[in-house]
Structure 1
Amino acid sequence: MDAERTTSGRRVKLAAYDALRAGRPGMFVNPPGAAYEILLDPADQERAYESTARRMAARGLPAHYADIGVVYSDPYFTLVRDAVRFRTGDLGTYVRVVPQGDADGAAVLPVLADGRIVLLRQFRHAARAWHWEIPRGFGDPGERGTQTARRELFEELGMPVGELVHLGPLHSDTGLKAGTDQLYLARLEGTEIRSEPGAGPRAEGIDAYRAVSPDAFRALLTEHRITDAYTLAAYALASARGLLTG
């Protein structure tokens, strides 16, 4: 019975994988010279599973750790384990996190009319810590990056945008996360920010706002008080393009 359940579970994961591949074929392309070739032939996938399952067993781990396909999914992410051929010719598996839908996420560096940069103090579950960072979020179905950026900025800061400048794309974790996020600089109208977050931002883990000059921002960087990748990347791109003064 356990063997039947395991086999059935593997089939479900592969069926979900095939459906994902049919809907988003671009995520399964093997470009010329790819160091890790995704294997789509069922016989190759089975050999990759068996090779990985043996390695898992040698480490005292359960065989289902080698399952190929969609191994987890929720409204935000899908965890995929691909069958791959490595450059050595060995077969195995490689895990990646795929955002739901094909809309890019967005992160926005908010700049007040007086040149100060607005930061949010937000608790992040994965790190189990508070971070000073910029507004960001997932793209809703059918949204373009600019729409996501404006929506996230309004939801988290509640401020109108005078100008939105596209800074460029970001691959936030090339070793794990698929998909692309877009970075922006927003020139806000006015020089004042809310004294404290409303109910919506608080529910998202935001408990404070802070407006700092570019010099003060750089001090936070050198003190290692800003470690969020989106914030660091947006600041680097804005600085390189000469979009920040002070």
Structure 2
Amino acid sequence: MDHTPQSAYAHLRDTHPRWFRTPSGDGAISIMRWPMTEGQVLHRDEDHLVLEDPVVLPDGQHARRLRLLAARPEPQVAVLPLLEGGVVLTDRFRHATRTWHWEIPRTTGVDGLADADQAARHMQAQLGTQVLELVGLGRVHADAEVLAEPVCLYAARIDAVGAVAHGEGIRRARTVPFAEAEEMAMTGQITDATTIAALFRARRTGLAG
């Protein structure tokens, strides 16, 4: 069915009410509802939704806020590959920043696959390798100001790196000692928040080295 940006937004409110809930308590930013005003669906594809929400700020002012949501129920998955005591980082071009980033493999959700299965599949797709052991590292919000959905973090022990996914913007993979990866994060060579969070949690879980 074709919708205007406003009617598509109203349809989402009716079909996905959890996306529009406001928690109880002071200080929350609430979303206004028609007939006061209506939001808009600015973009929609098979992976993402971009919403413009009409909101009421804690001081009573009205404003508009953008949100990026996943169109699929399965969350994003990011995997910290561990190889021979080191960390495998990919050198990947990101369109939003228009530059290269050292980061760990990450993917959008795949319909019908559990998080752990997505992680294993992703290692094969991006690094051409099989997972020997998978360890959950919890979830993280990479940018809670705009990105609505969390990323599921995993660490994966692998035994080799195969062909990288050049078609996804990865030009090479590099294995570095865990402490060196942490130093890259400290000195700004790694700026990807999801990668930094995975390194921190892996260290705290006892997986470093």
Q: Could you say whether these structures have the same fold, taking a TM-score greater than 0.5 normalized by the shorter chain as the test?
A: yes
| Worse-superposed segment, 221-230 or 95-104 | 221-230
Cα separation, 1, equivalents of 2:69 and 2:182: 33
- 1:193-236: per-residue Cα shift (whole Å, max 9, x none)? 23x53xxx111111111111112223322332111111101001
| Worse-superposed segment, 74-83 or 227-236 | 74-83
Unaligned residue ranges in structure 1 (runs of 5+): 1-8, 47-67
State which of 6, 10, 15 in structure 2 corresponds to 1:14: 6
State which of 146, 149, 154 in structure 2 corresponds to 1:179: 149
Matched residue count = 207
State which of 171, 183, 193 in structure 1 corresponds to 2:161: 193
Structure (1 or 2) with the larger CA radius of gyration: 1
State which of 76, 83, 87 in structure 1 corresponds to 2:47: 76
Q: Which residue of the partner structure matches residue 243 of structure 1?
A: 207
Q: Answer whether contact 1:164 1:186 (CA < 8 A) is retained.
A: yes
State which of 28, 32, 46 in structure 2 corresponds to 1:35: 28
Cα separation, 2, equivalents of 1:17 and 1:241: 41
SS at match of 2:42: strand
SS at match of 1:45: coil
Q: Which residue of the partner structure matches residue 207 of structure 1?
A: 171
Q: Answer whether contact 1:138 1:148 (CA < 8 A) is retained.
A: no
Q: Answer whether contact 2:56 2:63 (CA < 8 A) is retained.
A: yes
Which segments of structure 1 move beyond 4 Å, counting only runs of 4 or more?
none
Cα separation, 1, equivalents of 2:186 and 2:29: 37
Matches within 5 A, 1:160-171: 160-171=130-141
TM-score for the superposition, normalised by structure 2: 0.92
Q: Which residue of the partner structure matches residue 152 of structure 1?
A: 122
- 1:133-161: per-residue Cα shift (whole Å, max 9, x none)? 11101001222221221121110011111
Q: Answer whether contact 1:104 1:144 (CA < 8 A) is retained.
A: no
Unaligned residue ranges in structure 2 (runs of 5+): none
SS at match of 1:44: coil
Cα separation, 1, equivalents of 2:181 and 2:22: 41
Aligned CA RMSD, in angstroms, stands at: 1.8
Q: Which residue identity lines up with residue 80 of structure 1 in the other structure?
A: L
State which of 118, 130, 143 in structure 1 corresponds to 2:113: 143
> C-alpha displacement at 1:238, in angstroms?
0.6
Q: Does 1:227 align with 2:208?
A: no
Higher strand share: 2
TM-score for the superposition, normalised by structure 1: 0.79
> C-alpha displacement at 1:102, in angstroms?
1.4
Sequence identity percentage: 34
Cα separation, 1, equivalents of 2:150 and 2:189: 26
Higher helix share: 1
SS at match of 1:98: strand
Cα separation, 1, equivalents of 2:8 and 2:129: 41
Q: Which residue of the partner structure matches residue 26 of structure 1?
A: 18
State which of 42, 63, 66 in structure 2 corresponds to 1:95: 66
